[in-house]
Amino acid sequence: MVWFSQFIRIENAMPTHAQEIHLIQRPAGAPSAALFALKETPLPKLQSGQILVENLYLSVDPYMRECMDEEWELGAPLEGRSVGRVIDAGDSGLDVGQLVFHREGWRSHAIVPAAEARILKEYSGVSASAFLSLLGGTGLTAYVALTRIAKLQAGEDLFVSAAAGGVGSAVAQFARLMGARRLIGSTSSADKARYLTETLAYDAAINYREQDLAQALAGAAPDGFDIYIDNVGGKHLEVAIRSIREHGRIAWVGAVGQYNNPEQAELPRNLYDIVGKSLRLEGFLVRNYRQLQDELESFAVPQLQSGRLQAQETLAHGLENMPQAFVDMLTGRSQGKMIIKL
């Protein structure tokens, strides 16, 4: 299908089938792409209030690893964040060609109740994929962690784990714009450590696979830091509690280091230091902060348009490559937010 402007396209025949990725087997430990299969299914006629969306960009996210254990049905379409265009608006009152966000992911086309599709503003110079990275749940998570949970003040120092990932890359860029002083990030390879300091705004990078995390953090932040943004849990959290300054704040975003390593879930062993150091540790779910979407866009869009912010994305091409992209994201083979472009 060819789009010339927001609402004009060359009419092709309406698709009769959708391609979908199904989970066909549950993982034991780390997942592989072989647990998924590509299927073609007929698209039923639209019911009242439904729209047909041609998906353009699909998101793979760490929480999906947990869905594979139980929540996701085998042999059925999967849930996930998606950005696409309405190609049949039915009787919904939406316009054909509108850009929408919805959660019927892992497929080429989706039939979505119009009430569950969020119409996206199209900003000049900003790719629609940004609604899955800096302007999507990933960016909103970073924004909430900094502004509502850790309550970053100008001049404060931060430590961030999974620093090169979707949330981590957004945290660094947002924090710099908000006046943070020193940014320290951890990641899993020398290449990604260079990416942290050369492309992102980090002042120091720790390669937790090759360095002793506690020693490296002590070296990078001899006087500690004020805020820890925890994407990993386990050992990272234990070491951060040890190194953070008194009255520090920890925003617990996720525990990707624990999802395939249950022994990590037994850490941290020093939780009581939260009392001794007068720390605050707070977890949150981004879905409880959806009301901040407009605030995020007001903050981030002008910066994206001016080039001061960059949507850090690894694009994988084609639905058939989505399972491998998911595995690559979980195993640290992406930089910034992993997105599938259809």
Ligand X SMILES: NC(=O)c1ccc[n+]([C@@H]2O[C@H](COP(=O)([O-])OP(=O)(O)OC[C@H]3O[C@@H](n4cnc5c(N)ncnc54)[C@H](OP(=O)(O)O)[C@@H]3O)[C@@H](O)[C@H]2O)c1
Tell me which residues touch ligand X (CB under 6 A): 61-63, 137-138, 141, 162, 164-168, 187-188, 192, 231-232, 253-257, 261, 284-286, 329-330, 332, 334, 337
> Which SS3 state, helix, strand or coil, does residue 3 take?
strand
Minimum distance from residue 167 beta carbon to ligand X (Å): 3
Measured from the CB atom, the residue of 31 and 62 that comes closer to ligand X is 62
Which residues on adjacent β-strands are paired with residue 20? 39, 107
Q: CB nearer to ligand X: give 254 or 323.
A: 254
If the CB atoms of residues 86 and 160 are measured against ligand X, the closer one turns out to be 160
Please, what is the minimum distance in Å from the beta carbon of residue 138 to ligand X?
5
Nearer to ligand X, 53 or 193 (CB): 193
Instruction: Tell me how far, at minimum, the Cβ of 162 lies from ligand X, in Å.
Output: 4
Return the biggest CA–CA distance within the chain.
Answer: 67
Tally of residues, the chain: 342
Contact 68, 35 (CB under 8 A): yes
Residue 16 CB, shortest distance to ligand X, in Å, is 34
Residue 66 or 91 having the CB closest to ligand X? 66
Of 18 and 237, CB closest to ligand X: 237
Q: Measured between alpha carbons, how far is 19 from 129 in angstroms, rounded to an integer?
A: 20
| Least distance from ligand X to the Cβ atom of residue 238, Å | 13
Q: Read off the DSSP letter of residue 95.
A: P
* Minimum separation from the CB atom of position 208 to ligand X (A): 6
152: phi then psi, degrees, rounded to nearest 5: -55, 135
Identify the CA nearest to 141 among candidates 230, 66, 224.
230
The smaller minimum CB distance to ligand X, of residues 15 and 72, is found at 72
**Residue 299 in contact with residue 309, Cβ under 8 Å?**
no
Q: Specify whether the CB–CB gap between 285 and 137 falls below 8 A.
A: no
Q: Is 279:249 a contact under the CB 8 Å cutoff?
A: yes
Q: At what angle do helices 137-144 and 293-306 cross, to 10 degrees?
A: 100
**DSSP state letters, 296-331:** HHHHHHHHHHHTSS---EEEEESGGGHHHHHHHHHT
Nearer to ligand X, 187 or 243 (CB): 187
Closest approach of ligand X to the CB of residue 38, in Å: 23
Is residue 94 within 8 Å of 117, Cβ to Cβ?
yes
Cβ of 12: how many Cβ atoms within 10 Å? 9
Helices (H), the chain: 63-69, 137-144, 166-177, 190-198, 213-220, 234-243, 256-259, 273-276, 293-306, 322-330
Q: Residue 188 Cβ, how far from ligand X at the closest point, in Å?
A: 3
Confirm if 136 and 58 have CB atoms less than 8 A apart. Answer: no
Closer residue to ligand X (CB): 162 or 322: 162
Task: Output the smallest distance, CB 335 to ligand X, in A.
Answer: 8
